[in-house]
Structure 1
Amino acid sequence: MDTPESLNEMKSFLADLPKISWRGHTDLHQWKGFWVMPEVVKAVMAIEDQFNPLPTDIILSSFPKTGTTWLKALTVAILSHSSRRQNEVDDDPLLTHNPHELVPFLEMELFGNNPSRDIDKIPSPRVFNTHLPYSLLPDSIKKSGCRIIYIARNPMDTFVSNWHFVNSRFGAAISIEEAFDEFCGGAIPSGPFFDHVLEYWVERWREVRFFITYEELKEVPKKQVKRLAEFLGFSLSLNEIEEIVLRCSYDRLSKLDVNKNGGKVYWSGFEFGSFFRRGVVGDWQNHLSAEMMERVDQIAHQKWEGSDLPRETMEEQWMTLGGNVSRHEVSTTTRGRSKDYHAAMEARLLRVELGFQDGEARFEELGTHLDGFEDRLDELRGEMQGTLNEVMYTEQQKMSSLEARVMEMLTLL
């Protein structure tokens, strides 16, 4: 429980931090280079003091509206799939629970103003999510050996999704131009976006860090789910991967009754359906001007220069498949062809994977035949050796008889 002394210390600490009023809804404080709500500052300090991370813990990190719901669903599906395999029980938790019910929010739900769960009662492996920048994660988490998975998304799609979500959630709608200025200036919850992504990118080389993008998951979901499962310590068959991709698809999750019946995340009040708007790549094309796109590109270049952060993290559709055409020259027809191309490539990759499966089966069949051939070859060797032994014995008998006759003739002489 907070004591008057601790509350006064917190107020004093916050008072020393730069502050702005955000959307008339809350204050944002700039702490260690990032803009966060005051309750987040308090929660981070509580995490540092009270959270004992385990090496088996899994932390799902993200900037808001970059694929958090999808990443939660995929992680839950992979872990529960392994459990079903071991217990032979076909239980899909996503059928009856929204992903945000299954993976608690570390700084808001577990260590916020009104913690709603007892963290010590969560079974291992414990899965948590956070929107904290890497630099605000307590050292206890970074040094615990727990796995940290970060999902990034194209900044323009991130902005558009965030704009829709905030306007619908808080009812304090502002123009897209005003919101865009906020986003580019970084003065938004967990912002600046570009710094948030970069911090996790430079940590990706560590053994227990995993970096993935929303665009990669959309383009080649089976390949990325396989990577994610292997990082979590599971080896899945193609059929198992396809099942997980299907169970966690936007089309399926958005149509489940649990996500359509008006249910809410109890600690935030967000309706489950609010996390499923479109689930597409490239929606920024319907909202942003060429000048806005150019501004994002300049900021990304400035922030990410020298980091080797790939442009794919930004958006593959910024360039044509040829490579060097300006984004502004990418026509609707070209984008359509690009989507068709990727769909065709996905189908080809699937055929290749199935071909490998078929090839493996044929190799197994050939191996069986070879085993039979080797057995028959051993039989033939035995038969030939027997025949050779008989021939040698017969010849030895003839030689012995011939030697006896020669000796007899020599005696007569």
Structure 2
Amino acid sequence: MFDTDILACSFPKCGTTWLWRIVNCLVHMTEDGTITATHNTEMQVYPEWLPLEPEAEPHPLFGHESFRDFLARKGRRIFASHSPPWMLPHAVKSSGCKVIYIMRNPKDAAVSYANMGGLPPDGWDGSFERFIDPQCPHPGGSYFTYFKEMEEWLTKEIPREKSHVMYFEDVKRDQQSEVTRLAHFLDIQVSERKMKKIMEHTSFESMKGTKAGFLLRKGDVGEWKDWFSDSQNNRMDEAITERLRGSE
């Protein structure tokens, strides 16, 4: 990895698409709102999803882009990943690349996860049980395990000046302030005019009309209250207390 690379990390359904779009605008948007990059700029690319070489038939999301094409991109490359730290390239630590980690209330993440692609056959209750299971069978693994591993990695292995932590709820509450903080971390100057364009480009309404739209649902804060039973809420609170004990 290069010193100019940017790695956006998160557990699934915690704001990856939103974060990636904000970073992409900061890096590639001009003052008038034009995106200058020639590659895909509508949705994040997870390098581990790409074929090593271009395939004959285009992917519905990534077109003909391959892993080698992605690595050959010019300028600041933006990686997105749900992978736990132990699966990330060692060069993340040894290079000067910047790491951004966005977190979200696990209750809202659980609801968003359950509704991704429509509720499963066993409904919300079944999805909740899988989410809270210490051996969570979801492809993304356990929220709690991911959280603890990321916290330890960022605290012990990644220099503080290389990492930036964001909260989904803070971005919802005051997006412009959070974008300003992020721009400062990435050493990017943002004018008032460009900031206005970024805010327009990264609204949920705007993102819904892109290739990444299918990854977005509501982006609400506190929707879990419409889904959790009292028992489920108590069990989640207990899981947070026990399994995230000692976390900040």
| Structures share fold, TM-score greater than 0.5 | yes
CA distance in 2, matches of 1:188, 1:282: 22
Structure 2 match to 1:246 = 200
**AA in 1 matched with 2:221:** V
1:68 matches 2:11: no
Offset of 1:206 from its aligned partner?
A: 2.1
Q: Equivalent of 1:192, from 127, 142, 146?
A: 142
Q: Equivalent of 1:158, from 81, 84, 109?
A: 109
Higher relative contact order by CA 8 Å / sep ≥ 6: 1 or 2?
Answer: 2
Q: Equivalent of 1:301, from 235, 241, 244?
A: 241
Q: Can you list the C-alpha shifts for 1:34-69, whole angstroms capped at 9, x where unaligned?
A: xxxxxxxxxxxxxxxxxxx11111111111111111
User: Are the counterparts in 1 of residues 107 and 224 from structure 2 also a CA contact under 8 Å?
Assistant: yes
Structure 2 match to 1:99 = 42
- 5 Å-filtered alignment, 1:10-409, equals 53-81=1-29, 84-85=30-31, 90-92=33-35, 99-100=42-43, 103-109=44-50, 116-117=65-66, 118-167=69-118, 173-185=121-133, 186-202=136-152, 203=154, 206-254=160-208, 256=209, 259=210, 272-308=212-248
CA distance in 2, matches of 1:277, 1:235: 31
Q: Which has the higher helix share?
A: 1
User: Are the counterparts in 2 of residues 62 and 68 from structure 1 also a CA contact under 8 Å?
Assistant: yes
CA distance in 2, matches of 1:280, 1:252: 16
**AA in 2 matched with 1:251:** E
CA distance in 2, matches of 1:191, 1:124: 33
CA distance in 1, matches of 2:52, 2:116: 24
Distance 1:79-1:226 versus aligned 2 partners, 3 A rule: same
Q: Can you list the C-alpha shifts for 1:156-176, whole angstroms capped at 9, x where unaligned?
A: 1111111111436xxx53221
Determine helix, strand or coil for the equivalent of 1:207: helix
Offset of 1:236 from its aligned partner?
A: 2.1
Distance 1:116-1:246 versus aligned 2 partners, 3 A rule: closer
Distance 1:111-1:62 versus aligned 2 partners, 3 A rule: farther
Offset of 1:237 from its aligned partner?
A: 3.5
CA distance in 2, matches of 1:163, 1:61: 20
Q: Give me the identity figure in percent.
A: 28
Structure with greater Cα Rg: 1
Determine helix, strand or coil for the equivalent of 1:292: helix
CA distance in 1, matches of 2:71, 2:89: 18
User: Are the counterparts in 2 of residues 104 and 110 from structure 1 also a CA contact under 8 Å?
Assistant: no
Distance 1:273-1:173 versus aligned 2 partners, 3 A rule: farther
User: Are the counterparts in 2 of residues 184 and 296 from structure 1 also a CA contact under 8 Å?
Assistant: yes
CA distance in 2, matches of 1:93, 1:69: 19
Structure 1 match to 2:60 = none
Unaligned runs of 5+ in 2: 56-63
Structure 1 match to 2:59 = none
CA distance in 2, matches of 1:275, 1:93: 24
User: Are the counterparts in 1 of residues 82 and 140 from structure 2 also a CA contact under 8 Å?
Assistant: yes
Q: How many residues align?
A: 231
User: Are the counterparts in 1 of residues 4 and 76 from structure 2 also a CA contact under 8 Å?
Assistant: yes
**AA in 1 matched with 2:132:** C
Determine helix, strand or coil for the equivalent of 1:59: strand
Offset of 1:235 from its aligned partner?
A: 2.6
Unaligned runs of 5+ in 1: 1-52, 265-271, 309-413
CA RMSD in angstroms comes to: 2.6
User: Are the counterparts in 1 of residues 33 and 194 from structure 2 also a CA contact under 8 Å?
Assistant: no
**AA in 2 matched with 1:227:** R
Offset of 1:72 from its aligned partner?
A: 1.1
CA distance in 2, matches of 1:57, 1:195: 26
User: Are the counterparts in 2 of residues 72 and 99 from structure 1 also a CA contact under 8 Å?
Assistant: no
